[in-house]
Chains A and B, each alone.
Chain A
Amino acid sequence: MKLSNLSPKQLIEIDACTRCGECLNYCPIYAQKDEEDIDPRGKIQAFKAFIRSQYGLWARIFGPKKLDEEKLKKFSEMVYRCTLCGECSISCPVSIDAKNLWLALRETLAEMGHYPKAAERLKANVLEAHNISGDESDERVDWLEFLDELPDDRYQKEKAEVAYFVGCVASYFPLVQKIPQAFVEILGKAGVDFTLLGGEEWCCGFPLIGAGMKKEAKALIQHNVEMMKKKGVKRAVFACPSCYHTWMEAYDTDIEIFHSTQFIKELINEGKITFKEQKRKVTYHDPCDLGRASGVYEPPREILRAIPGVELIEMESNRERCKCCGGGGNLEMVDPELSAALAHEKIEEIRATGADTVITSCQQCIRTIMTTARRKKIPIKAMDITEFVLSAMT
């Protein structure tokens, strides 16, 4: 077992775990499964045992033990059965950045061939078709056909200052195509000089990084930056928090990066977006990749407060303590039932607020919440903030 995917800091973090169990109080997977092996503490201890068997004192004297394939398989199942929500990272009293540790462990396991079978198809789709669904690249902007009015350039200019990077899920999955449909209308109404990359947009690389295949994402990253540069883009906007976070963390570029909530807030401040009154009681769900991972908590709340008549009721767990919807970390691909169980918990928390609508800023959160709600016939309305903003604009 190679440890080259782990930084010296991460190796120290593994050793620093005091087994206090504070993370058990916050891990949503442990709350569902109640298994010690699946919680952050259990995973760190299991990995420590692997390290000891390979690099410990006895291993140095007598040579490393042969790795137990069954134990590795079980460990891999535990490491991939996680939404990468990051609550363990913020709850750790000794500041172990557990979320990034899980990513490094996934990378190590993937290199050893211990990763979920479903990730194989995901990898093939992303590397061959450059999107997660395996559909044709020129279908990436099919959602435009649903718009009432479409400019001649179909929002795909040769040059523009701003590019809206749509992301695979909002491009290909009809349940959330209202997000790009709403966002291009908002940008158009606000007079922003923007373009889409159209069929030239490739997956940002997030699904591969989440699956432990970070090295495979390099070509995607290089391509996307080149396409932005070709169009002279200075500012890139993302309605998908995972694309946004990936660009912030894994892309080396001088292009300014914005999430749609930050960009909309700026347009409101500049007076380019104004609202009519809405009599609505709403609550807000913080997507993990926007909140805990990127620290963007206030712009969406400031937008909602800027709409007259909107009453924002916070959920019991909000901001850095917001509970994951169950849609993160490729969990749905690995264990759809577990993902749905988390979504059900989230729905109950939303309903407890008494709000008529849950607003969020992530297509995957909408899909996870709405898929579970519709399957279970729970009457709940989830909207992306872009749709909500468009419906309230004058």
Chain B
Amino acid sequence: MDIEGYEFPEGLYYEQNHFWARVEGDLVVMGMSDYAQKMAGDIVYVGLPPEGKKLTQGKSFTKLESGKWLGKVFAVVSGELVEVNEELEEDAKLINEDPYGKGWMFKIKPDNMDEIKNLMTDPGEIQEWLKKEIAEHGKA
């Protein structure tokens, strides 16, 4: 769905810090929302932690940067980091170009898949939340 010019595909889960989550079998794939990538500008680097790292839902576990802007990446669910998108090492701009596709960031094996229900997935709720975010942080 399009919310004020930002793409938020339905069927995904979104958390408050603008990261999305998608269930793939017994794993959860995560990335950055269209609004966040546009606000960040050209992303030049993402820290890719070693696989096997233990993550906690809502806690930051790495950073990304675009010029002088420095942002934290928050875990969408608790669990083990099982795969990182290695292509981002050389081409982090994939997050800008295709935030929900080639720009995916991490795959997590969740400790408890039910935790994903803590995230937003209802289109009405997402629209209401994003409009508040735009009112507070502006548009890119």
Chain A residues in the interface with B (C-beta under 8 A): 133, 135, 145-146, 148, 172-175, 177, 332-333, 336, 370-371, 374-375, 377
Is B23 engaged at the interface, CB distance under 8 Å to the other chain?
Answer: no
- Within 8 Å CB of B91, what residues of A? 374
Q: Residues of A contacting B45 with CB < 8 Å? A: 174-175, 370, 374
Residue pair A174, B63 in contact (C-beta under 8 Å): yes
Nearest B residue (CB) for A379: B90
In contact, A173 and B92 (Cβ under 8 angstroms): no
- Interface assignment of B80: CB less than 8 Å from any CB of chain A: no
Whose C-beta in chain A lies nearest to the C-beta of B72? A135
Q: Which of A148, A175, A336, A371 has the most CB of B within 10 A?
A: A175
- CB-CB < 8 A to A375: which residues of B? 42, 44, 93
Which residues of B are found within 8 Å of A333, using beta-carbon distances?
Answer: 68
Q: Nearest-CB distance from B35 to chain A (Å)? A: 20
Question: Of A133, A177, A336, A370, which is within 8 A of B47 by CB?
Answer: A177
Is B65's CB under 8 angstroms from A146's CB?
A: no
In the bound assembly, the distance between CA atoms of A145 and B44 in angstroms comes to: 21
Cα distance A333–B69 when bound, in Å?
Answer: 11
Find out whether the CB atom of A374 lies under 8 angstroms from the CB atom of B93.
Answer: yes
Chain A contacts for B42, CB-based, 8 A: 374-375
Top-6 shortest CB links A-B = A174-B47, A175-B45, A374-B44, A174-B63, A375-B42, A371-B44
Least distance between A242 CB and chain B CB atoms (Å): 16
Nearest residue in B to A375 (C-beta to C-beta)? B42
Chain B residue numbers with a CB within 8 Å of A146 are 47, 49-50
Q: B82 contacts the other chain (Cβ, under 8 Å)?
A: no
Q: Could you say which residues of chain A place their CB within 8 Å of the CB of B64? A: 174
Expressed in whole angstroms, the Cα–Cα distance for A374 and B94 within the complex equals 11
Q: Is the interface of B mostly helix, strand, loop or mixed?
A: loop
In the complex, the chain B residue whose C-beta lies closest to that of A172 is B70
**Distance in angstroms between the alpha carbons of A371 and B64 in the assembled complex:** 12
Is the CB of B118 closer than 8 A to any CB of chain A? no
Give chain B's interface residues, CB within 8 Å of chain A.
42, 44-47, 49-50, 53, 62-65, 67-68, 70, 91-93
Minimum C-beta distance from A60 to chain B (A): 46
Kindly report which residue of chain B lies nearest to residue A145, judged by CB atoms: B49
Q: Establish whether residues B68 and A175, one from each chain, have CB atoms under 8 Å apart when the complex forms.
A: no
Which single member of B46, B50, B68, B93 contacts A174 (CB below 8 Å)? B46
**B residues in contact with A370, CB < 8 Å:** 44-45
- Cβ contacts under 8 Å, A173 to chain B: 63, 65, 70
Question: B95 to nearest A CB, angstroms?
Answer: 12
A332 touches B93 (CB 8 A): no
Chain B residues near A133 (CB, 8 Å)?
Answer: 70
CB-defined contacts of B65 to chain A, threshold 8 Å: 173-175
B84 CB, nearest partner CB in chain A, Å: 11
Say how far A330's CB is from chain B's closest CB, in angstroms. 10
Contact of A336 among B44, B49, B68, B92 (CB under 8 A): B68
Question: Looking at B44, B62, B91, which has the most chain A CB atoms within 10 Å of its CB?
Answer: B44
Q: B70 to chain A: which residues have CB within 8 Å?
A: 133, 135, 172-173
- Among A135, A148, A175, A332, point to the contact of B44 (Cβ < 8 A): A175
A66 to chain B, nearest CB (A): 37
Hey, which chain B residues are within 8 Å of A177, CB to CB?
A: 47
Bound: A102/B42 CA distance, A? 32
Minimum C-beta distance from B115 to chain A (A): 22
Contact: B49 with A332, CB < 8 Å? no
Q: How far, in Å, is B78 (CB) from chain A's closest CB?
A: 17
In the complex, A148→B49 CA distance in Å?
A: 10
- Whether A374 contacts B47 in the complex (CB less than 8 A), given A173-B65, A173-B70, comes out as no
Question: 4 more A-B contacts (CB under 8 A) besides A175-B44, A374-B92, A374-B93?
Answer: A135-B70, A336-B68, A375-B42, A375-B44
Instruction: Say whether A174 contacts B62, CB under 8 Å.
Output: yes
- List residues of chain A with CB within 8 A of the CB of B50: 145-146, 148
The closest CB in chain B to the CB of A173 belongs to B65
Query: Which chain A positions have C-beta within 8 A of B49?
Result: 145-146
- Chain B residue with Cβ nearest A336: B67
User: Can you give 30 contacting A-B residue pairs, CB < 8 Å?
Assistant: A145-B50, A145-B53, A146-B47, A146-B49, A172-B63, A172-B70, A173-B63, A173-B65, A173-B70, A174-B47, A174-B64, A174-B65, A175-B44, A175-B45, A177-B47, A332-B67, A332-B68, A333-B68, A336-B67, A336-B68, A370-B44, A370-B45, A371-B67, A374-B44, A374-B45, A374-B91, A374-B92, A375-B42, A375-B44, A375-B93
